[in-house]
Structure formats: C-alpha cells, structure tokens
Amino acid sequence: MINNTYNYLLSDLKKLKGVGIKTYNILKKKKINNIFDLLWRLPKSYTDRSKSTKIKDLKIGEVQTITLVPYKYNFPRIRNLPNRIYCKDETGEMDCIFFNSYEGYIKKILPLNKEVTVSGKVGHFRNKYQITNPKYISKDASIIKDKHNKYSLTEGISENVYNKIINQILTNLPILDEWHDEHVLKKFDNISWNESIIQLHKPENVGKFKSNFYKRLAFDEILSTFLVHSQIRKNIKKIKKQQKFFKNESQKKLIDKLDFELTNDQKKSLNEINNDLKSNQKMFRLLQGDVGSGKTIVALCAAANVVNSGFQIAVMAPTEILAKQHYNLAKKIFDKNINLEILSSKTQYKEKKTIIKKLKEKQIDIIFGTHAIFQKKILFNKLGLIIIDEQHKFGVNQRKKLSDKGGDNCDVLLMSATPIPRTLTMTVYGDMDLSIIREKPKSRKEVKTYSKLETKIDEILRFIKKEIQNNNQIFWVCPLIEESKKLDHSSAVEKYKFLKNKFPNQVSLLHGKTENEDKEKILKDFLNQKTKILVSTTIIEVGIDFPNANVIIIENANKFGLSQLHQLRGRVGRGEKQSSCILLFKSSLTDNAKKRLNILKSSTDGFVISEEDMKLRGFGDILGFKQSGVKIFKLADPLHNNDLFELAEKEIKQMEKKNIKLSKYKTLMKLYDQADIIYDIV
Ligand code: ADP
Ligand code: MG
C-alpha cells in the first residue's frame, strides 16, 4: 500500500497490526501518538551499554554498565520484599535488586566475591544506588558492551513485536513529494525523504550521523522549526500597532539617577527596545543576558518610556518574591507620579478589587505580579507592554499565546537569564527578535571558584566563620538526590541540622516543600542579614538579588551541569565585595570532572560555558531543556549539526527576502510540527 499522502503517517497507532492495547498504551505514555512519531524511535542510540561506569559516577535514571563484585546476599523470604545483593567496586557500593527471582538463580548469576558486569537502569533507594532486575549480567564484560547494537527497546515491548511494527511501517511508507529546492537537495546527494527513513532503520546504519540520509532528515526538522518561527514572526509583524511616542529625556533623567553607568550592551539593548516601541509593528523581543548582567534596569527604563507614551505595563515574574523585588526597585527609581501596584496571592480580596478597578480606569501605570496578573477578570485600560522575567522555559506555543494576550497594541518583552549556544537560541527563540547583554557591569569582581573534598569540612567551617565575622553571608546548596518530582530534601535537612549546631541562630533552611509564607520570611530574614547561612536545595530563586551574600558552597558539585553551576555561582558576586564559590566533591575528581571544573574556573561568560557544557553533555541536558517542553529535535543536534542550522537560517532569510510562499513545505511542517500554530498557515 504505497500512497502519496502523509495522512498514513499521522494516523493512529491502533491501525497497525501487532499493536494491541498494551503496546498502544506503552507507546502513548512515551508520547508516541502516531506512526510518524514511531519513526524516530531508534532506541539503540539511547541505550548505550558500551561504556563502563564506576559506582561513584553513576547517574540516576540512566542505563549504565558497571563491573562490580557481589559480597553479600539478603534474601528476606517475605512476600513483596525483593532479594537484595550487596555489591561494590573500588569507588563505592550499590545493590542489585531482584523481584520474583529464585535464590538459586541469583547465586548462579551473581556469585559472591567474583567480578561480574551488569547493565541496567540506575535507581536509588535510601541514599544508595541500585539496579532493579538488571537487564544483562555477565562475567564477560565484552558481551554486555556489544548489546547496544541490538534493536532492544522500550520497556514492556519485546524486540520481536517492535521489529514487526517497524517493518510494517517501512513497507507502507508513502512516497512524499519532495519539498526541498534542488540546490538544497544536492547537498544531501539528492536522497529522498522515504529513502532516508529506510536507511535510518537499517541496523548497519546505526550511528552514521554524517551520512546523507541522516543529515537530510536532521535538516528537515531544523528547517521545519525555522519555517514555523518565520511564519510566527511574519504574522506578528503584520499586526499594525499604535506607535508609542515618548521623549528620551525622562529616560535620561532616570538613568542619571542610578548610582552606576549602563554598560554598552545595556544601552544597545535599550535602544533596540525603544525602536521597537516607537515603530508601528508589534514588538516580540527577547532580552537575553547572563545572571547579573542587569536586565531588570533595561526593562524598567523601557517601562518608563511606555508610561510616558500613555500606556500601561504588566510585569510578570515567576515568583512573588521576584515580583516584589522588581516592584521595590521601580518604587525606588521612578518618579512619584508613576503609579505602581503589586498583585500577589496574599493581596486581600478588597484590595484586589480596588486594584482591578484601578487598572480598568488607568489609575495604575505599572502592575507587578506573577502569572496571576493575567487572570481573565483582570482587564487593562490601555495595556502597551508585557514584560516577562526569567521564563526561559516557555515553549513556542505558550509564547505565541502570551503575545496575543495584550491585544494588537501591546508589545512583548521576554527576559531570559539563560545564556545558551547560538544554535540553541535559534531553535528555542527563533520566533523572537533578540537583544543580548554579554558585557557584565564593570564594577563586578570575579567570583573566585575553588574545589574541595567534602572531607575537608573543618577547613570550610573555619572559612565560613571568618566570612560571618566579616559580616558576609553564605548560600549552602545541596543537590536533590532523586531526580523526580518527589523531591528528596534529606541532604539539605541534614546539612541544616549540622550547621545549626555549629552556628546557632544563624542558619535557615529552604527547600521545595517549604510553605510559601515561611519561604518569604526566610528569604526576608536572609536579605536583612538576620540569618547568615541559607541552606537550600537548588530552588533559590534564579533572579533574586542578595548583594550581601558572597559565598556559595555547592555540595556534590559533580551532580550538576556546568551551566547550572554557573547559574548557582551567579547568585553571589553582585555586591562590591570579593566573592567565592566552593564546589564540594565526594571523592577525587575524574579527568572529565577536572575538565569541567577548569572551564568553570577559567570563564565567567555564561555563553562560553553553555557552549562547553553542550559539548560535554549534549544539548538536551543544558538547564533542563529536555524536561521543559521546548522543542527538542529527534535527530538534529545543535552541537554537531552546526552547518545544517546555518544552512537553514540562510535558506529562511532568502525565502523571507523573496517572500516565497510556504505551501511547498506544507507536508514537512504538518509532519514535523504537529502544532496548532501552523494549521492556519498552510
Ligand atoms: P539580571 O540580569 O540577572 O536580572 P539584575 O537586573 O538583577 O540582573 O542586576 C543585578 C545587579 O546589578 C542589580 O543589583 C543591579 O542594580 C546591578 N546593575 C545593573 N546594571 C548595572 C551596571 N551597569 N553597573 C553596575 N551595576 C549594575
Ligand atoms: Mg533578573
């Protein structure tokens, strides 16, 4: 059954032979909703068992291969309790767990005191790594290391069933009309989409990232993403808005009042924003800059101009504490005749009603708050600008909705403190215009970065004591042990108890389960220097400004990516004083860990660090983009396919310049970006 339509590819999985309700549900859970989605399941590239890992370097949630020695059995003989085999290598200990397995069998495959290699998904229980029902166990490590070449698969679906399903799809693959221009296709030796897919699924082609078929398919998805972006931009640019007229004098007055001079990048960004405000096209702009680069002041200057031109502004922050911080800053630097208000979940009903009324009657110029300021019942009289802080985790669709929210006359400015590599910026924010602040304020002293073994706790305590005597404050960050939604705070709680003992009345604790109200008080006390040490998990608000905190201690630093360490480090070094960042490690560093550390020590430029982070960890891991719902490619890789991203960008620019109709790419976009957004385009 060969046909020329893409409908087959978008059809439901139930249509396939061999997909029963069980398989169907498993695939659905994995967000595989149709046949097209299934084409990209190339599990062998995800399950790499070829590299051995030492116990101390295990990563929870990943399939890993470890050579270890079992040294003790625990067969509880109680129903529902698993058999547990205690194992170790020279770096640490872990358990292998078996449900429903006979002792005799276990003793045979995991004999005591004999080296054996196991492979499976690494989990965690009571502070210890474990693998439950290891997938492979062998005395011969090389046997396991070969396994990744096989077509092994998703939990619950057998290899056999999966092969049958895939073969069925490949036989029925429709021959699609080519969407690329000749000159583009030539770059991939003219290979068609269909042929590429067939090649992609040949076992002998595993890992051929440089082949024409692989590159073509990667380029398809990049181009599709960029086409969608281009279309969104075009649609937004089509909106004719009322121009905002304002005089630069009031802005100048505001800037003159600051006790610092704007950096060149701040000035440049502000200019770009001002030009957008004055134009008759709706602004849809991202202000990207590292932590502490000074985005807030740029946004507030823009807000002052918008007030000046007679419009209202909504400033949205991700947390109430941040909203309050922005509000306080605005109160400090704005003229008294600008009316500011803050709306929070704690705002009393009566007061809230007044605020709503005042907004409607334009007695409020700028309103600060969390997403609560976008509730349906809140109506603006003349909203002219929406400013959104620190929301680097919005997907394209959410952003599009935001941009629609304020109506045609409303400009949109997004701020992101996540410096990311250029290819990733093109992918994640390609629908927006971009202003970048790379330059840090000149007054900033560089944060000194050290690494220390956890065992040297006495040295660290002495250091802290001295800092406290000098009137300084300390962040102590503990990692989450479990990378799931059920956060595990035990390490933070323990550290808190430990430090409280050493520094009575000076330590406070903050974690994901801290009640909102307590949280606010804890942060306030820390801000007012009532407490000196703040122990927390990684939840310390990204944007919060604690100028007096100048030491950050990060425990188990090897559990964090470079970008995340950089972000954490960015929480200190905001004031005049010399700041330090101390990274704690459980054991001496591996070469890879040393490499990472050196990058961090040698650079304070978030863009450089994120680029290096991407090289070391792959792009999906950068600051949790994988979990964030922003688009992640199936094949394309912003690191290795740099050339394809550039090519796509060039092609799009040409198309935009020549105003080429996109109907030719209809199939491509419908398949690759099954988002609503494109349905009104093609
Ligand atoms: P972010 O870009 O992370 O949001 P903020 O806007 O919070 O950074 O600014 C961080 C700190 O730097 C604030 O205390 C702010 O007053 C200060 N700051 C901003 N711009 C400058 C500058 N040009 N020179 C000196 N300090 C600045
Ligand atoms: Mg900020």
Integer angstrom CA distances of residue 652 from 96, 230, 232, 460, 648: 52, 7, 13, 54, 6
pLDDT band at 459 (very low <50, low <70, confident <90, very high): very high
| Candidate from 256, 257, 258, 260 with most ligand 1 atoms within 8 A of CB, to mutate | 260
**What are the residues whose beta carbons fall under 8 Å from the beta carbon of 447, sequence distance 6 or more?**
569, 572, 573, 579, 580, 581, 604
- Give the contacts of 119 (CB within 8 A, at least 6 positions apart): 49, 63, 64, 65, 66, 134, 135, 136, 137, 144, 147
Q: Provide the token pair at 627.
A: 């979990």
pLDDT at 7: 86
Q: Which ligand is nearest to the CA of 298?
A: 1
Name which of 66-80, 208-222, 386-400, 635-649 the model is least confident about: 386-400
**Of residues 678, 648, 653, the one with CA closest to residue 666:** 678
Q: Fold match between 52-145 and 448-603? A: no
248-437 CATH choice from 3.40.50.300, 3.30.465.10, 3.30.200.20, 3.90.1170.50:
3.40.50.300
Q: How far is the CA of 421 from the centre of ligand 1 (A)?
A: 22
- Of 28-42, 256-270, 412-426, 666-680, the one with minimum mean pLDDT is 666-680
In terms of pLDDT, which residue wins out, 62 or 354?
354
CA of 515 to the centre of ligand 2 (A): 23
Q: Ligand 1: which of 291, 296, 444, 540 to mutate, most ligand atoms within 8 Å of CB?
A: 296
Asked whether 284 and 403 are in contact (CB, 8 A), the reply is yes
Query: How many angstroms separate the alpha carbon of residue 444 from the centre of ligand 1?
Result: 10
Could you state, in order of their start, the residue ranges of all structural domains in the chain? 1-49+149-171, 52-145, 176-238+641-682, 248-437, 448-603
The CA 358 to ligand 1 mean position distance, Å, reads 31
CATH architecture of 52-145: Beta Barrel (2.40)
Summarize pLDDT for 471-506 with one digit per residue, the tens. Answer: 999 999 987 655 444 555 667 888 999 999 999 999
Instruction: Specify the ligand 1 atom closest to the Cα of 289.
Output: 2
Ligand nearest to the CA of 291: 1
**CB of 106 closer than 8 Å to CB of 122:** no
CA dist 551 and 504 (Å) reads 19
Distance 259 CA to ligand 1 centre (A): 11
Query: Which ligand 1 atom minimizes the distance to the CA of 261?
Result: 23
Ligand 1 centre to CA of 579 (Å) is 16
Q: Which CATH number fits domain 448-603: 3.30.565.10, 3.30.390.50, 3.40.50.300, 3.40.50.2000?
A: 3.40.50.300
Q: For residues 124 and 75, give the distance between their C-alpha atoms in angstroms, rounded to a whole number.
A: 19
d(CA 187, CA 568): 43
Rounded to 5 degrees, φ, ψ at 138 are: -155, 150
Q: Which residues line ligand 1 (CB under 6 A)?
A: 260-263, 266, 289, 291-297, 417, 441, 443, 543, 545, 574
Query: How many CA atoms lie less than 13 Å away from 96 in the CB half-sphere?
Result: 31
Cα torsion angle, 502, 504, 509, 514, sign: positive
Residue whose CA is at the smallest distance from ligand 1 atom 23: 262
- HSE-up of residue 446 (Cα within 13 Å, Cβ side): 9
pLDDT surpasses 90 at 73: yes
Show the beta-strand stretches assigned E in 254-294: 284-289
Residues near ion ligand 2 (Cβ under 5 Å): 543
Best of 261, 291, 293 for a ligand 1 pocket test (most atoms within 8 Å of beta carbon): 293
Q: Please tell me what DSSP assigns to residue 627.
A: G
pTM of the model: 0.72
Give the residue, by CA position, lying nearest to ligand 1 atom 9: 294
* Confidence check: pLDDT of 266 > 90: yes
Ligand minimally distant from the alpha carbon of residue 442: 1
Nearest to 141 by CA among 213, 73, 78, 53: 53
**pLDDT for residue 237:** 84
Higher pLDDT residue, 674 or 580?
A: 580
Task: Give residue 559's pLDDT band: very low, low, confident or very high (50, 70, 90).
Answer: confident
Q: Cα(389) to centroid of ligand 1, in Å?
A: 14
Ligand nearest to the CA of 548: 1
- DSSP conformational letter for 287: E
Query: Considering only CA atoms, which of 219, 222, 229 is closest in space to residue 196?
Result: 219
Residue located via tokens 């070094």: 573
Highest mean pLDDT range out of 95-109, 157-171, 631-645? 95-109
How many angstroms is it from 293 CA to the middle of ligand 1? 6
What number is the average pLDDT over the span 580-593? 85
Average pLDDT over residues 457-470: 94
Q: Residue 623 pLDDT > 60, yes or no?
A: no
- Residue 280 CA to residue 285 CA, distance in Å, equals 15
Task: Report yes or no: 499 and 476 within 8 Å, Cβ to Cβ.
Answer: yes
Nearest CA to ligand 1 atom 19: 294
